[in-house]
Amino acid sequence: MALQAAGITAAEEAVYRFLVTAESVPAEVVAERCALGADEVAAALTALVAKAMISPSDERPPRYRAHPPDVALLPQLNRRANALEQARSATADLLETYRATARRRDAGLLIEVITGAEALRQRLRQIQDGARDEMLWFCKAQYVAMPSGSNRAEYEALERGVRYRVLYERAFFDDEGAVANVAEGVRSGEIARAVTHLPLRMAVADRSMAIFPLVPGGPNGSPQEPTTALVRDSSLLDALIALFERYWEDAVPLHVDASGAVTGTDAVGTEEPLSTTDRRLLSLLVAGVADKAITTQMGLSRRTVQRRIQQLMELAGAATRTQLGWQAARRGWL
């Protein structure tokens, strides 16, 4: 019954397998060689002709020959595979509709409470294994469930093409092994930024679920037994994603230099990230002064001006000069 997945019955498979080895034979020979009754063979031959797997001759009684398996079977298998994929997609849509409807009826389905470090580790592994597009992370200092460098699920997800955007707070880099862990993540494709402080620990998978602590330190104040919540599609999830994006905008991009060191952390939390020269340069840039005029007014070479502007863009996490001006205004650099 190896061909059952292609919609072939046991009798049809037996007949087709025999005809593949025979040049052209009548129905009685098929019945004799396959040890099947005349009616069963007639039904199998008729079905195989209809499925374009065999063809009869014009003589009477007809003789039957098999079509090559790649011609006879592969198109059917491809059609069935496409149909299965469409059915799988439709089932996934129905499942999501069912879950959304169920959550509206039962608010308890929106939030799942997770108690204990081991349960939290398992959940974090599961949501990363199931991620298809993007993971968002808030990483605070002093781990609760996953020591620095132990999240191997991230690297597996990165290899699958999942995008990781990770925000680290400044104190995180004081943890043992943290800098090496961040460097490995960035080299593997992680997009990392840093801020002075984060309000909570958090992971968001595909913008469809988030996991974050409910009670700091766990139910009994023990850091070994954290109490966390997994939140699915809801206004609360939307708020958590918006919180991430708000912190992401103001964060400093992190990079790994040729020596493997993480650069950018020194700019996090500094009260005066810009020099007097940089502030003057920004003011002229935002005022719309051309690079050539800036070089004249500031007594700098054109290359130096362009290099300083590029450094300011990297510090602000801006992709364009327009974004640099907007970030400078938001951060009070002007």
Query: How confident is the model at residue 269, as a pLDDT?
Result: 53
Do residues 123 and 114 lie in contact, with contact meaning Cβ atoms separated by under 8 Å? yes
pLDDT in tens, 83-142: 778 887 887 777 777 666 655 555 556 788 888 888 888 999 999 999 999 999 999 887
> Which among 206, 204, 207, 193 is positioned nearest to 247, based on CA atoms?
193
Q: What are phi and psi of 111, to 5 degrees?
A: -125, 125
> Which among 317, 325, 333, 309 is positioned nearest to 250, based on CA atoms?
317
E-strand stretches of the chain: 25-26, 54-56, 63-66, 111-115, 134-139, 163-169, 191-195, 202-205, 209-215, 227-232, 252-253, 255-256, 262-263
The angle, 0 to 180 degrees and rounded to 10, between the axes of the packed helices 291-298 and 276-286 is 140
Write down the residue that tokens 């374009």 correspond to: 52
Query: How confident is the model at residue 219, as a pLDDT?
Result: 43
CATH number assigned to the domain covering 276-330: 1.10.10.10
CA distance 259 to 91: 49
Q: Is the pTM of this model over 0.85?
A: no
CA distance 285 to 300: 14
Do residues 62 and 29 lie in contact, with contact meaning Cβ atoms separated by under 8 Å? no
Do residues 240 and 231 lie in contact, with contact meaning Cβ atoms separated by under 8 Å? yes
Q: Is 292 helix (H, G, I), strand (E, B) or coil?
A: helix
> Which among 70, 61, 58 is positioned nearest to 41, based on CA atoms?
61
User: Do 110-267 and 276-330 have matching folds?
Assistant: no
Q: Which stretches of the chain drop beneath a pLDDT of 50?
A: 218-221, 270-271
Write down the residue that tokens 């009477």 correspond to: 60
> What are the b/e assignments for 281-316, b being 16+ CB within 10 Å?
bbebbbeeeeeeebbeebebeeeebeebbeebbbbb
CA distance 80 to 132: 25
Do residues 284 and 328 lie in contact, with contact meaning Cβ atoms separated by under 8 Å? no
4-72 CATH, one of 1.10.630.10, 3.20.20.70, 3.40.50.300, 1.10.10.10: 1.10.10.10
Architecture of the domain defined by 110-267: 2-Layer Sandwich (3.30)
Domain map of the chain by residue range?
4-72, 110-267, 276-330
- Percentages of the chain per state (helix, strand, coil), in multiples of 5: 55, 15, 30
Query: How confident is the model at residue 273, as a pLDDT?
Result: 62
* CA distances, 334 to each of 88, 266, 319 (Å): 55, 21, 19
